[in-house]
Amino acid sequence: EDLSETLHLEPGQIQPAYLLFVLVQVVLADYGKVVLSSREEIEVLAKDFDKKLEDIEPEDFLVAKSRLSDFSQTFEKIHYTLNFPPVKGLFKRKNSFLPYFNELLKTVNLLQISLAKAEERLNSLHDHYLLLLQDKSNRRINFLTIVQAIFVPLTLLAGIYGMNFEYMPELQVKSAYFIALGSMVIIAVGFLIYFYKNKWFD
Tell me which of 54-58, 61-65, 90-94, 192-196 is least confident: 90-94
Taking the C-alpha atoms of residue 177 and residue 125, their distance in angstroms, rounded to an integer, is: 56
The residue-averaged pLDDT of 54-69 equals 83
Taking the C-alpha atoms of residue 32 and residue 20, their distance in angstroms, rounded to an integer, is: 18
Give residue 142's region: left, alpha or beta (phi > 0; psi -120 to 50). alpha
Eight-class DSSP state of 8: T
Q: 115-154: per-residue pLDDT in tens?
A: 888 889 889 888 988 888 888 888 889 888 888 888 998 8
Percent of the chain with pLDDT over 90: 2
Classified as helix, coil or strand, 9 is coil
Sign of the CA dihedral running 41, 44, 49, 53: negative
Q: 143-191: per-residue pLDDT in tens?
A: 888 888 889 988 988 888 888 777 778 777 888 888 888 988 999 999 8
Average pLDDT over all residues of the chain: 79
In terms of Cα–Cα distance, which of 17, 9, 3, 22 is closest to 86?
17
